[in-house]
Amino acid sequence: MLTFNADQHPLMSRMHKPDPKLPPDPQDKRSVIAIEDADVQT
């Protein structure tokens, strides 16, 4: 599964509430990336 950091994404960044007990890196927001069938092996 491919993901990308969605911290700066206008919609996806609103999906998770930050945990004030954790530093920023462990709580980055990630979203699945859809890829074309032809790119699966790449």
Domain boundaries, the chain: 3-39
What's the Cα-to-Cα distance from 2 to each of 29, 32, 35, 40, rounded to whole Å?
13, 6, 9, 10
Return d(Cα 30, Cα 36) in angstroms, integer. Answer: 19
What is the Cβ-side half-sphere exposure of residue 28, based on CA atoms within 13 angstroms?
A: 11
pLDDT tens, 15-25?
Answer: 766 777 888 77
Report whether 31 contacts 9 (CB < 8 A): yes
C-alpha 14 chain-centroid distance: 11
The mean pLDDT value for 24-37 works out to 78
**pLDDT for 34 beyond 80:** yes
